[in-house]
Structure 1
Amino acid sequence: MPVAESDGAQPGAARPPSVVSGPPLADEPGLGALTLPGFLREVTAAYGEREALVMHTGEGVTRWTYAELWERAIEVAQALRACGVGKDSRVGVLMTNRPEWIAAAFGASLTGAVVVTLSTFSTPSELDHLLRVSGVSVLLFERSVLKTDFAAVLTELEPEIGKAAPGALQSARFPFLRRLVSVGDAAPGPGTDTWDGFLARGLDQPRELVEATAASVRPSDTAVLFFSSGSTSRPKGILSAHRGVAVQLWRCRRMYGFRPEDEVRCWTANGFFWSGNFAMALGATFSSGGAIVLQPTFAPVEALELMQAERVNFLYAWPHQWAQLEGAPNWSSVDLSSMRFVDHNSLIARHPTVSARWFEPNHAYGNTETFTLATCFPANTPPEVHGGSSGEALPGVTVRIVDPLTGAVVPRGERGEICVKGPTLMLGYLGTPLDETLDAEGFLRTGDGGHLDDTGRLFWEGRLTDIIKTGGANVSPLEVDEALAACPGVKVTQTVGVPHETLGEIVVACVVPHEGAALEAEAVRAFLRERLASYKVPRRVLFFREDEIELTGSAKIKSGELRQLAARRLAPPVG
């Protein structure tokens, strides 16, 4: 439990400060090796012949055991060594969820390199930015992802790629980039190695050197460079140490309560280039000896068929994907009786073949800067314990709430900005000095609003910039959206504040209905009046088609653009 100062104050006395710390990291159970190579080595030793991953394609089914995953990672490491990759080199991985992504990420870590995860949702201008700031020397990429030909995109960004022999690129635009390697069925493209050709380059690299290099990696070394998926600005590059990443890989097993005998089979179609999916899907599954059922790009009909065929019992999905699964034509005909680790409040749990009663560890708070979890209650925590909160401080973590303007710690129970520090906190933002990132005491000021209660539980209330100030009251759009999500017929929702002459802002709910749903604004407001205080009930409810609301690559709604769209809808007609 977190160490919270006792609130022994008499009525009228000053309340204790909003600071709480979890137990020491050394006391956390279930942690293993604190490097990525060490993590993979330990799970391979424990679960060697168990299935680690499976992927269905038009050509057949790929299945790897943990022992085979280790061998594939060794092969990638040998090939990277042959390409000159060593300690602190940066290796870019631009792929959907496929076996080669996992082999590439762990293989790069075996060489001591930094794994740079790149989103396959990147536009050409975004990819240009990511490659320029990340300084990758080798880019392992999937040529064709949906309608995007990344070989063509890369050649358009840097025409020299089309003129160079594989491994001989000299680019003024990407001065560190030397080699491109393509994976997938499509031809590799100009200046690019095939995956098999790349692996063949490492055949003469001594295995013992690879394993010795992997053993020399230290928990304090830089492990990964992930990019934030912010909805208002260019993604920030976030550097994390091996210790921070490995702690979360092991920790997620404990938070989900998984055991080897549970034989976890996890489906996910969300990219491993997001820290949450890497830690919570891959980490929780691998650390408990389970198997990942890979789907490179999300397609609801295919996803349901995979869940049935592979007897999936654990899902890691986003809210918009739940809705699409329920709307798929095969929803009512598939057998999902294998599901065990699906939250009781999720759409999947309401499927007629699902009988599991389980509550996921969704009372939690974290971000890419903390490589996911900073506060959390484990799965199946009773409501009287979590109290609807965002969790308690995890081992080694300290949370405090400060005044956003002055930085002073506020009294317990008072709202302010969430600040965190701990063993999984990032090494820093790419290109930004650490003293411009952390405060004088080493805390990250997250820009998120919230408060700590008297027991030390954190309550997250959303981005400070998103808090709606209406008629002198503060309204959290998150709270409104959580209530709206339970409204029948609502598929996607985002609540925003729209400027108002007398109230400052008014609360406006922007809703995408399910196909065929006959929603009316007043009916939605009536639904919310039974669940929210009157000042939190949206004054206006606007309905949108799904293609009218722009999402980031990680399915976050671009709130600034939606706010402008809502304001235009509400503006009186000109003339």
Structure 2
Amino acid sequence: MTDPGTSAEGPTIPALLARAVRDHPDRDALVTLDERLTWAELDRESRAVAAVLAGRGVGRRTRVGLLMENGPGWAVCSLAILRLGAVLVPLSTLLRGPELRQQLSVADVERLIMVEGYPGRDYTTEFADLLPAGEGDGRSAGLPSLRSAWSWAEIEAAPRPDPVLAAALEDLVRPADDLAVMFTSGSRGLPKGVIHTHGNALRAVAGGLTARCVGPGERLYIPMPFFWMGGFGGGLLTVLVAGATLLTEPGRDPERTLELLGRERVTLFRGWPDQAVRLASHPRAPGTDLSSLRPGSLAGILPAGLRPEPGARANLFGMTETFGPYAGEHLDKDLPPEAWGSCGRPFDGVEVRITVPETGAAAGPGTHGEIEVRGPHLMRGVCGRLREEVFTPDGWYRTGDLGHLDEGGRLWYHGRLDDMLKIRGATVYPTEVETALLTIPKVRQAFVTDLRGEDGVRRVAAAVVPETGADLDETGVLAAARERLSSFKVPAVLRILEQGAEVPRTASGKVDKPALQRLLSG
């Protein structure tokens, strides 16, 4: 019998929901501290909302923006959109007016569903000049595609029409249909809209489950917002594909997080590394039962006996264009010593090669260059760009990441092409310096960039965060760094941050390089 989650063509959201209802209808699908939905309830609620949306003109290929915080509502609404064959466009709750306008325009969003506000924000007032006044009339200036904007409360309260139209649309969904437009959000440049299909996105999720240690019945904690790849692909779609349960929350409050983790018997913690460290050092942590956590969780929250040595586990590696990780190995097992610090091997279905950035010529094992990827897990394209602008003639995507493949086929990451440092004519990779600093006893986190001195010469600069209860001094850290790094790679500027300190980050959670440079130059 064919698995209803897949077909000869590949997987789709409607088919995976049907499988979930068949195989584990009463298993929790999504749990917050205040709400929970089983798979049967999530299927039923998303089916009902799909009927409402279909009655309002949402159908195949309609691009629907969703502006909402993490929670059952986001899951219900997003799956309702996707089961109709419409295209989901997740939008960040952190966006300001000009940013929202840009993303709505780039993705050609036709319908927008949004909550009325967020803590400290009144979206209805703040975005009033962006929103159309009626159904197809009075469209917003500068956004000719946007026909309607509805509040989530309005959609939730709407009468449920006959589901016959929604069911007919659901039957038409195919793996080749577009699933979502996901916006990238690096530390530089405007976000771009990356287009993924049902088939490529769901295959990418499935391809990483083994490395990520996510299987049926797992209780996975992911706090990342659903509008980012970490929350959508790494969280919501991961538990759908795996038949697991997602624990999440709309914000980060350590006491509430610990209560959720303990009460719900979390088995895998895949939040932010610095969050794991702060939770482990919180006064309530000793009284929270986290005995169900497994070794595949982030090291910072694991007890000392389960915590791996720095670099011993593979660094999952991926990007929005590959719908999350495309390389890695079992997160609950140490790599061979010679592979410590690597990203592990590319997943099945993903081809990786290294090329010389200047020429595009293939580079041999051990040679540093630009990472290129190819395969059925890769995005379909980028909004507003021709295929030949995105891919090479033979289908490779130039990632802009630097790395090398070793003789064993493992991938090593060395930073971004635009982040590679030139220090007195020599090449320095920030990740290499960070990895070395993390091997120094009592160093919990390390962040490396460069600074231009008064003489105009660029120097390596670093910020380190000590382990809880540890004392670090600049002299000792630099002495240890000199034992591990060539002289030109040793930080000329070093700042030891207070325990629990947070480095500056962008809205996407990535390190904000310009802000880090300002911190280190202060």
How far 1:167 moved relative to its partner? 7.7
2:249 to 295, 303, 311: 295
Mapping 1:503-522, distance limit 5 Å = 505-511=458-464, 519-522=472-475
CA deviations on 1:40-84 (whole Å, 9 max, x unpaired) are 222222211211112223xxxx22111111111111211110110
**Is the CA contact (8 Å cut-off) linking 1:256 and 1:360 kept in structure 2?**
no
How far 1:503 moved relative to its partner? 10
Letter in 2 for 1:410: A
Match of 1:107 in 2: 80
1-structure distance, mates of 2:62, 2:428: 46
CA deviations on 1:96-137 (whole Å, 9 max, x unpaired) are 210111111111111111000111122332122112222222
Aligned CA-pair RMSD:
3.0
Match of 1:424 in 2: 377
**Is the CA contact (8 Å cut-off) linking 1:252 and 1:280 kept in structure 2?**
no
Mapping 1:182-331, distance limit 5 Å = 182-183=151-152, 194-197=154-157, 199-200=158-159, 203-205=160-162, 207-260=163-216, 263-331=217-285
Is 2:58 the partner of 1:81?
A: no
**Is the CA contact (8 Å cut-off) linking 1:438 and 1:444 kept in structure 2?**
yes
**Is the CA contact (8 Å cut-off) linking 1:93 and 1:116 kept in structure 2?**
yes
Change (3 A) 1:514 1:233: farther
Name the SS of the counterpart of 2:422 in structure 1.
strand
Match of 1:384 in 2: 336
**Is the CA contact (8 Å cut-off) linking 1:228 and 1:238 kept in structure 2?**
yes
2:291 to 309, 323, 337: 337
**Is the CA contact (8 Å cut-off) linking 1:31 and 1:247 kept in structure 2?**
no
**Is the CA contact (8 Å cut-off) linking 1:239 and 1:428 kept in structure 2?**
yes
Match of 2:413 in 1: 460
**Is the CA contact (8 Å cut-off) linking 2:33 and 2:256 kept in structure 1?**
no
Letter in 1 for 2:151: S
Change (3 A) 1:502 1:173: closer
2-structure distance, mates of 1:98, 1:83: 24
Is 2:16 the partner of 1:39?
A: yes
2:319 to 352, 358, 367: 367
2-structure distance, mates of 1:447, 1:301: 39
Mapping 1:140-151, distance limit 5 Å = 140-151=113-124
1-structure distance, mates of 2:119, 2:436: 34
Match of 2:89 in 1: 116
Match of 1:13 in 2: none
2-structure distance, mates of 1:125, 1:490: 40
Change (3 A) 1:297 1:167: farther
**Is the CA contact (8 Å cut-off) linking 1:340 and 1:356 kept in structure 2?**
no
More displaced 10-residue stretch of structure 1: 274-283 or 480-489: 480-489
Match of 1:127 in 2: 100
2-structure distance, mates of 1:497, 1:473: 13
2-structure distance, mates of 1:141, 1:565: 36
Letter in 1 for 2:176: S
**Is the CA contact (8 Å cut-off) linking 1:222 and 1:242 kept in structure 2?**
yes
Match of 1:177 in 2: 146
How far 1:485 moved relative to its partner? 4.4
2-structure distance, mates of 1:356, 1:391: 19
How far 1:548 moved relative to its partner? 9.0
2-structure distance, mates of 1:560, 1:446: 22
Letter in 2 for 1:332: P
2:514 to 530, 554, 560: 560
How far 1:535 moved relative to its partner? 3.8
Letter in 1 for 2:23: A
More displaced 10-residue stretch of structure 1: 553-562 or 109-118: 553-562
1-structure distance, mates of 2:151, 2:172: 29
Is 2:425 the partner of 1:469?
A: no
Name the SS of the counterpart of 2:385 in structure 1.
coil
2-structure distance, mates of 1:329, 1:138: 46
Is 2:360 the partner of 1:400?
A: no
2-structure distance, mates of 1:49, 1:356: 34
Change (3 A) 1:56 1:165: farther
Name the SS of the counterpart of 2:11 in structure 1.
coil
How far 1:459 moved relative to its partner? 1.1
Identical-residue share of aligned pairs (%): 33
**Is the CA contact (8 Å cut-off) linking 2:29 and 2:39 kept in structure 1?**
yes
Query: For structure 1, which runs of at least 5 residues remain unmatched after alignment?
Result: 1-29, 184-192, 570-575
2-structure distance, mates of 1:36, 1:296: 24
1-structure distance, mates of 2:502, 2:313: 32
Letter in 2 for 1:126: E
2-structure distance, mates of 1:514, 1:132: 45
More displaced 10-residue stretch of structure 1: 387-396 or 414-423: 387-396
1-structure distance, mates of 2:144, 2:271: 37
Letter in 2 for 1:321: Q
2-structure distance, mates of 1:346, 1:551: 21
2-structure distance, mates of 1:518, 1:452: 37
Query: For structure 2, which runs of at least 5 residues remain unmatched after alignment?
Result: none
Match of 1:24 in 2: none
CA deviations on 1:240-272 (whole Å, 9 max, x unpaired) are 111111112322333334443xx3112222112
Name the SS of the counterpart of 2:511 in structure 1.
coil
Change (3 A) 1:98 1:487: farther
Letter in 1 for 2:320: T
Change (3 A) 1:335 1:487: farther
Change (3 A) 1:224 1:386: farther
Change (3 A) 1:145 1:528: farther
Greater relative contact order, per chain length (Cα 8 Å cut-off, separation 6+):
1
How far 1:382 moved relative to its partner? 4.2
1-structure distance, mates of 2:118, 2:442: 32
Name the SS of the counterpart of 1:451 in structure 2.
strand
CA deviations on 1:390-448 (whole Å, 9 max, x unpaired) are 22232222211111111111232211111111111111111111111112221111111
Change (3 A) 1:382 1:325: closer
CA deviations on 1:157-177 (whole Å, 9 max, x unpaired) are 43x65xx36786522233222
Name the SS of the counterpart of 1:56 in structure 2.
coil
How far 1:552 moved relative to its partner? 1.0
**Is the CA contact (8 Å cut-off) linking 1:31 and 1:250 kept in structure 2?**
no
Change (3 A) 1:307 1:517: same
Change (3 A) 1:300 1:528: farther
How far 1:489 moved relative to its partner? 6.6
2-structure distance, mates of 1:377, 1:220: 28
Letter in 2 for 1:553: A
Letter in 2 for 1:253: L
More displaced 10-residue stretch of structure 1: 374-383 or 67-76: 374-383
